[in-house]
């Protein structure tokens, strides 16, 4: 399901371009060249075409939560190697490399914070951690975030960014889709709101579970969203894909997201929604 990771012509390359470096940054989407400091002010959104560069989990926490404060939970959850999985690398080595690269133990940061004074259970996926792939720990941290919502009666906000299930944990990673979705059914029965926020990219196992199950689903402009990866589809049907296929805009047109929201408006949009859905 995590189809993208060795796709040199696709996202992997895009990912590199997305990491801001140097004084000037070239927009991946339109080619516009923007001064780096200016990009920081623009929240890494291209002033010419609205393309949203990937930003860190920490940056989103600062953008969305009051005082940029998140009381962190489940910090010590780390992956095991249940399958003793080895391809060109051993799975534990991949995890270690990702930990060094990100300074995080796993691909989800989660906890409790406030959005304009409204207390929420919050979780965000980190694409830099093995492509945001969902293994046992990612599934467990999302599950616990949902449980905190249920037990403490807090609205749930999840920011997704993932290529899908983590192949190196095999069937256990597939089952995280069921684990998280089953808990979301309980959350829904309690009438506690869940806002799902989709960023570039959200696909496969994550898109086919909790990312698609928000009461409200909002997405950043021009993100890649879908079930199957573009290359898999291309190979299956043997023809080129239409322009804009599997983008946020395509998802809006087809009826699978509620709203495209620019990063600068994320906080105000979430606040408005929570006032309707949660605050009397």
Partner 1 sequence: MGTGPYLEFEKPIAELEKKISDMKDFSIGSDVELSGEIASMQKKLDKLRTEIYDNLTRWEKVQLSRHPKRPYTLDYINAMSTDFIELHGDRYFGDDNAMIGGFGMIDKQKVMFIGQQKGRDTKEKLFRNFGMAHPEGYRKALRLFYMAQKFNVPIVVLIDTPGAFPGIAAEERGQAEAIARNIREMSRIKVPIVVIIIGEGASGGALGVGVGDVVMMLEYAWYSVISPEGCAAILWRNAIHAPEAADALKVTSPDLINLKIVDKVIKEPPSGAQNNLQEAAEYVKEAILGALDELKETPVDILLLDRLQKYRHIGEYDE
Q: Which residues bind Zn ion (CB under 5 A)?
A: 27, 29-30, 32, 46, 48-49, 51
Task: Residue 124: name the closest of 102, 141, 109, 138 by CA.
Answer: 109
Nearer to partner 1 (CB atom), residue 44 or residue 132: 132
Stated as kind and residue range, the H or E segment containing 72 is strand 70-72
Instruction: Build a one-symbol-per-residue string for 138-177: x at contacts with partner 1 by CB under 8 A, - elsewhere.
Output: -xx--x---------------------x-x-xxxxxxxxx
Nearer to partner 1 (CB atom), residue 18 or residue 209: 209
Using CB under 8 A, pick the residue from 86, 190, 264, 275 that binds partner 1: 86
Which residues are within 8 A (CB) of 96 and not within 5 positions of it... i.e. 6 or more apart? none
Nearer to partner 1 (CB atom), residue 59 or residue 104: 104
Residue 46: name its binding partner from partner 1, Zn ion, none (Cβ under 5 to 8 Å by kind).
Zn ion
- Asked whether the beta carbons of 122 and 145 are under 8 A apart, the reply is yes
Nearer to partner 1 (CB atom), residue 34 or residue 218: 218
- Asked whether the beta carbons of 192 and 150 are under 8 A apart, the reply is yes
Stated as kind and residue range, the H or E segment containing 250 is helix 248-254
Stretch that binds partner 1, among 27-35, 43-51, 57-65, 86-94 (CB under 8 A): 86-94
CA distance 164 to 219: 17
CA distance 121 to 111: 6
Task: Residue 144: name the closest of 67, 76, 217 by CA.
Answer: 76
Residue 186: name its binding partner from Zn ion, partner 1, none (Cβ under 5 to 8 Å by kind).
partner 1
- Asked whether the beta carbons of 186 and 213 are under 8 A apart, the reply is no
Instruction: Build a one-symbol-per-residue string for 47-76: x at contacts with partner 1 by CB under 8 A, - elsewhere.
Output: ---------------------------x-x
Nearer to partner 1 (CB atom), residue 49 or residue 175: 175
Establish if 245 lies at the interface with partner 1 (CB under 8 A): yes
Query: Which residue pairs, CB below 8 angstroms and at least 24 apart, start in 86-94?
Result: 91/168, 91/169, 94/130, 94/168
Nearer to partner 1 (CB atom), residue 53 or residue 91: 91
Residue 51: name its binding partner from partner 1, Zn ion, none (Cβ under 5 to 8 Å by kind).
Zn ion
Instruction: Quote the least distance from Cβ 115 to partner 1, whole Å.
Output: 24
Task: Residue 150: name the closest of 196, 118, 194 by CA.
Answer: 194
- Asked whether the beta carbons of 101 and 128 are under 8 A apart, the reply is yes
Map the footprint of partner 1 across residues 183-242, applying CB under 8 A: 183-186, 188-189, 203-205, 207-213, 226-229, 232-233, 236-237, 241-242
Residue 49: name its binding partner from Zn ion, partner 1, none (Cβ under 5 to 8 Å by kind).
Zn ion
């Amino acid at each position: 399901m995590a189809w993208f990771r060795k796709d040199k012509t696709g996202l992997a390359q895009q990912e590199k371009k997305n990491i801001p470096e140097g004084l000037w940054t070239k927009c991946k989407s339109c080619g516009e060249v923007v001064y780096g400091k200016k990009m920081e002010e623009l929240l890494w959104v291209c002033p010419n075409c609205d393309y949203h560069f990937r930003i860190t989990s920490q940056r989103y926490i600062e953008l969305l939560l009051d005082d940029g404060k998140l009381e962190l939970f489940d910090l010590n959850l780390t992956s095991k190697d249940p399958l003793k999985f080895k391809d060109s690398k051993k799975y534990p080595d991949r995890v270690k490399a990702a930990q060094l690269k990100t300074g995080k133990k796993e691909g989800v940061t989660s906890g409790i914070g406030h959005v304009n004074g409204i207390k929420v259970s919050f979780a965000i996926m980190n694409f830099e951690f093995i492509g945001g792939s969902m293994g046992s720990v990612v599934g467990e941290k999302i599950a616990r975030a949902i449980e905190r919502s249920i037990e403490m009666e807090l609205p749930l906000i999840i920011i997704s960014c993932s290529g899908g299930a983590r192949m190196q944990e095999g069937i256990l990673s597939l089952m995280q889709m069921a684990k998280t979705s089953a808990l979301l059914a309980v959350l829904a029965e309690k009438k506690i709101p869940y806002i799902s926020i989709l960023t570039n990219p959200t696909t496969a196992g994550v898109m086919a579970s909790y990312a698609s199950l928000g009461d409200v689903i909002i997405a950043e402009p021009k993100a890649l969203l879908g079930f199957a990866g573009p290359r898999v589809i291309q190979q299956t049907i043997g023809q080129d894909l239409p322009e804009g296929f599997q983008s946020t805009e395509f998802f809006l047109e087809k009826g699978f997201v509620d709203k495209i929201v620019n990063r600068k408006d994320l906080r105000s949009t979430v606040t408005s929604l929570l006032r309707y859905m949660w605050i009397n």
